[in-house]
Structure 1
């Protein structure tokens, strides 16, 4: 039997990425990432959304600290 899709709240995404909730909120808002659905009053996001948010945080951090990039 297949597992139901994993749905994550903003707080859970922040916990998994070890960052603050306001950074996750900023990425969601600025990149116009749509919630997959709602669980009560909480927005929930798919694993694909999680991957997108994680990659945007990495990109933002690289833009903020260009000296940490590799010179490949």
Structure 2
């Protein structure tokens, strides 16, 4: 018997990526990431969505670090 698909709420994604919920919400909104479905009133996202959000979070952090590093 196969495993059911992993579906994660915004809060669970934030917990797994060790960041604040508002950052996850920003990425979802600005990158127009579609929810995989709904669980009651909560949007749920797939593992592929989690991977996409994680890569976008890393890219944002890299851009921020590049902008704040002193220029020589």
Flag whether TM exceeds 0.5 (same fold).
Answer: yes
Give the paired residue count: 67
Q: Deviations over 1:2-35 (max 9, x none)?
A: 0000000000000000000000000000000000
Root-mean-square deviation over aligned CA pairs: 0.6
After superposition, what is the alpha-carbon deviation per residue over 1:27-66, rounded to whole angstroms, capped at 9, x for unaligned? Answer: 0000000000000000000000000000000000000002
State how far apart, in whole Å, the 2-side matches of 1:13 and 1:49 are.
9
Moved over 6 A (4+): none
Unpaired runs of 5+ in structure 1? 68-72
Are residue 12 (structure 1) and residue 12 (structure 2) matched? Answer: yes
1:1-72 to structure 2, matched below 5 A, reads: 1-66=1-66, 67=69
